[in-house]
């Protein structure tokens, strides 16, 4: 079974798409591109979806919900897809001020809110430690938790699906974050270690300045089920498209492990064309 549908719409009115595939008992939620400048993660997750669609045996074992482009507005801006005369570009340019990396380093959504700082998991702490106090290209937690349509859509999806495991793809650092203030369940470490072995990434703690108000943090706090933030690739965001194949070679086996558990095999071929 495979179904693609629109969860809802972004701050600028773009559709936020979700794909549900498979009929298996294990329920898994993967998502990517919370940050505009990390758009390469959306392409990584789409590559994994291509693998999943071609594997009836996988579909019989798990049911996968995937949202490759949580932040379609920020991704469009950071990818240089908006004409400079468009109202969206003009408003973003005003928010960005003199940022020399604009628009390519833009992380926020269309309203200047960092979607991965907009969840009710010590949101007030994020407001204290982050410097912007209003719309910005990055790091503004927003006027209140779940203020953004994209954040609410992802919270509603998790509440409806109640997945056994959550993985969110970010960039960069080649690290896997798995904890939030003791809310992680006992089995989370073993699965995280298996994901690290398959990918060569480091299973580690979240940096203190980033350990609040994220989607993973809220999920752990709300559901007490394994959840991971995977920092894909190395370098400076936005990572160049030439890194996509190398990132996929390491992250797709990691996602397979998350999909099936710590005993997932090593016999899968991910050499697929970009979608």
Instruction: Return the active site residues.
Output: 231
Percent of residues in the chain assigned helix, strand, coil, to nearest 5: 40, 15, 45
- What kind and span of H or E run contains 95? helix 87-96
Distance separating alpha carbons of residues 162 and 77, to the nearest angstrom:
32
Distance separating alpha carbons of residues 51 and 48, to the nearest angstrom:
5
State the number of CA atoms in the 13 A half-sphere of 159 facing the CB.
8
Q: Which of 176, 194, 197 is nearest to 259 (CA)?
A: 194
Tokens of 60: 């019989």
Residue written as tokens 């938790």?
145
Do 229 and 41 contact (CB within 8 A), yes or no?
A: no
Beta strands in 153-275 (DSSP E): 165-171, 175-177, 202-204, 227-232
Q: How far is CA 105 from the centre of its chain?
A: 17
Tokens of 2: 């495979």
Helix (H/G/I), strand (E/B), else coil: 111: coil
């Amino acid at each position: 079974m495979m179904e693609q549908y629109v969860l809802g719409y972004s701050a600028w009115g773009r559709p936020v798409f979700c794909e549900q595939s498979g009929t298996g008992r294990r329920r898994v939620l993967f998502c990517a591109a919370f940050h505009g400048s990390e758009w390469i993660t959306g392409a990584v997750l789409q590559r994994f979806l291509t693998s999943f669609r071609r594997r009836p045996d996988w579909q019989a074992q798990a049911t996968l919900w995937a949202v490759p482009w949580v932040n379609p507005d920020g991704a469009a801006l950071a990818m240089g897809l908006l004409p400079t005369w468009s109202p969206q570009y003009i408003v973003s340019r005003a928010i960005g001020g003199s940022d020399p990396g604009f628009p390519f380093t833009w992380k926020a959504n269309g309203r200047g809110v960092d979607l991965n700082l907009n969840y009710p998991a010590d949101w007030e702490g994020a407001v204290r430690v982050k410097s912007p106090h209003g719309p910005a290209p990055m790091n503004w937690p927003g006027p209140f938790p779940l203020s953004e349509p994209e954040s609410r859509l992802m919270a509603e999806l998790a509440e409806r699906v109640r997945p056994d495991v959550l993985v969110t793809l970010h960039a960069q650092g080649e690290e896997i974050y798995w904890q939030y203030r003791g809310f992680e369940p006992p089995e989370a470490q073993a699965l995280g270690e298996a994901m690290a072995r398959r990918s060569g990434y480091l299973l580690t703690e979240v940096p203190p300045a980033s350990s609040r108000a994220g989607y993973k943090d809220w999920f752990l706090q709300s559901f007490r089920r394994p959840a991971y933030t995977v920092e894909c690739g190395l370098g400076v965001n936005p990572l160049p498209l030439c890194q996509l194949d190398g990132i996929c070679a390491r992250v797709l086996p990691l996602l397979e492990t998350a999909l099936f558990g710590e005993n997932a095999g090593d016999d899968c071929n991910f050499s697929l064309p970009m979608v």
